[in-house]
Amino acid sequence: MDTIIITIDGKQVTGKRGQTILEVANANDIDIPHLCYHPRLSKTGACRLCLVRIDGKMLKTSCTEFALDGMSVVTEDEPLKNIRKWLLGLLLLEGDHNCLYCDADGDCELQTYVKMYNVERPDEDFPRNPREVDYVTSNAIKRNENRCIVCGRCIRACKEVQVQNVWGFTERGSQTHLIADDDKRIGESSCVKCGACVQLCPTGALTFQPVLGTGLNWDLKKESSICIYCGVGCKIDFYTNKEGLLVKAMGNDDGPNKGHLCIKGRFGFDFVQKPNRLKAPLMKKDGQFVEASWDEALDFVADKLKAIKKQDGPDAIAALSSAKCTNEENYLMQKFMRGVIGTNNVDHCARL
């Protein structure tokens, strides 16, 4: 039997054998605070924020503990709440967390929990060395490790999702920190700018360079769309700010990309609001490109194709189609060439 029944906060819920407590809770819309866990990444149990009480006694991290049939789970009681507050206080202590001046602009899971639990930075010293801020070497990623909570999500995102293995931890204990490759600056590393680490970083330690100063996260409006760059058809959530400016692209979990994007889908949308973007066909007249109507441009192309076919036959014409088109558009292109022009000279940019 693959189905299990467990009790979470007094409510019976079903899950599947092999799921963790956190996965069963998530599937049943029950929130358990978590920071190092992400559904698309392997589980490490690093932050301890997801602790729950099992069968009235044991405290276990719900992101790593398997749910067992008949188990009884309490997601929060007074001692658990105090542990969470203490853990969040420690996370604030070991970094520079002035949210007012943070590049996360409100897109920060740590900030959300700190507010939820009303936690303040403890008035103590913490022996962690300040880390270099790198805002200049990459035109894609800003890195401020003083806001890093050492959750390791970026490392796993780069290793398990993009399979680029850029990030790693070095040193031990309170001095543990990130390195890119063998301690390079991010812009000089082997990073291919997919942005997966930034999308999955739960704090302002890694942020997108082009998003800087474009507006607070809660003021952004989200619209889902499909990437225009290739046939994978990645689903993207585009965010626009109060001024209507397109500011960032995040991978949508429901698409074939399962939340991931490549550099083109992630950053290749700036043309949308460029003033010199082509919005009408251009035709060369007297050596100069000038704007034309679609009718004029298409009539011109049709006349040329007819003239070439009449003079040299249909095989004097070939068509090259594009991965940026849909399947349907590519189908129409070959149909047009075979059925209307009368040639099999059809090819596709992917073979160039």
The closest alpha carbon to 154, from 189, 128, 114, 120, belongs to 189
Of the candidates 6, 24, 54, 63, which one interacts with ligand FES according to CB under 6 A?
63
Q: Is 171 exposed, middle or buried (0-12, 13-18, 19+ CB in 10 A)?
A: exposed
DSSP state of 233: -
| Alpha helix stretches (DSSP H) within the chain | 21-27, 78-93, 109-116, 153-156, 196-200, 263-267, 294-312, 327-335
Residue whose CB is less far from ligand SF4, 114 or 247 = 114
Q: Least separation, in Å, of the C-beta of 134 and ligand SF4?
A: 12
Given ligand SF4, ligand FES, none, residue 337, with its beta carbon under 5 to 8 Å by kind, binds none
CA-nearest of 161, 135, 157 to 146 is 135
Q: Is 79 helix (H, G, I), strand (E, B) or coil?
A: helix
Report if residue 249 touches ligand SF4, rule: CB under 6 A.
no
Give the Cα separation of 192 and 68 in Å (integer): 41
Task: Name 242's Cβ contacts closer than 8 Å, sequence gap at least 6.
Answer: 215, 219
CB of 84 to ligand FES, least distance (A): 11
Q: How far apart are CA 173 and CA 185, in angstroms?
A: 22
Judge residue 193's burial from the number of C-beta atoms within 10 Å of its C-beta, 0-12 exposed, 13-18 middle, 19 or more buried: buried
> Site for ligand SF4 (CB under 6 A): how many residues?
37
Min dist CB 259 to ligand SF4, Å, is 12
- Least separation, in Å, of the C-beta of 15 and ligand FES? 17
Q: Closest CB to ligand FES among 46 and 308?
A: 46
Which does residue 63 touch among ligand FES, ligand SF4, none (CB within 5 to 8 A, set by kind)?
Answer: ligand FES
User: Which CB atom, from 185 or from 348, has the smaller least distance to ligand SF4?
Assistant: 185
CB of residue 16 to ligand FES, shortest distance in Å: 19
171: left (phi over 0), alpha (psi -120 to 50) or beta: left
- Binding flags for ligand SF4, 156-175, as an x/- string (CB under 6 A): -xx---x-x-xx--------
176: helix, coil or strand? coil
In angstroms, the Cα distances linking 198 to 191, 223, 326 are: 12, 20, 29
Angle, CA of 29, 35 and 39, to the nearest 5°: 55
For ligand SF4, the binding residues in 200-239 under the rule CB under 6 A are: 201-206
Which of ligand FES, ligand SF4, none does 4 bind, CB closer than 5 to 8 A by kind? none
Contact between 88 and ligand SF4 per CB under 6 A: no
Distances (CA, A) of 50 to 12, 15, 17, 34, 211: 20, 18, 20, 5, 30
Chain positions 30 to 49 lying near ligand FES, rule: CB under 6 A, are 34-37, 45-49
CA dist 255 and 262 (Å) reads 14
Residue 97 CB, nearest distance to ligand FES (Å)? 18
Partner that binds at residue 61, options ligand FES, ligand SF4, none, CB closer than 5 to 8 Å by kind? ligand FES
Q: Are strands 288-291 and 282-285 parallel, antiparallel or unpaired?
A: antiparallel
Binding map of ligand SF4 across residues 180-199, x = CB under 6 A, - = no contact: -----------xxxxxxx--
Contact flag: residue 15 with ligand SF4 (CB under 6 A): no
What whole-number distance in Å separates Cα of residue 200 and Cα of residue 295? 47
Q: Choosing among ligand FES, ligand SF4, none, which partner's interface includes residue 34 (Cβ < 5 to 8 Å by kind)?
A: ligand FES
- Window 93 to 112, contacts with ligand SF4 (CB under 6 A): 97-99, 102, 104, 108, 110-111
- Binding of residue 265 to ligand SF4 (CB under 6 A): no
The binding site for ligand SF4 (CB under 6 A) comprises 97-99, 102, 104, 108, 110-111, 114, 147-154, 157-158, 162, 164, 166-167, 178, 191-197, 201-206
The binding site for ligand FES (CB under 6 A) comprises 34-37, 45-50, 61, 63
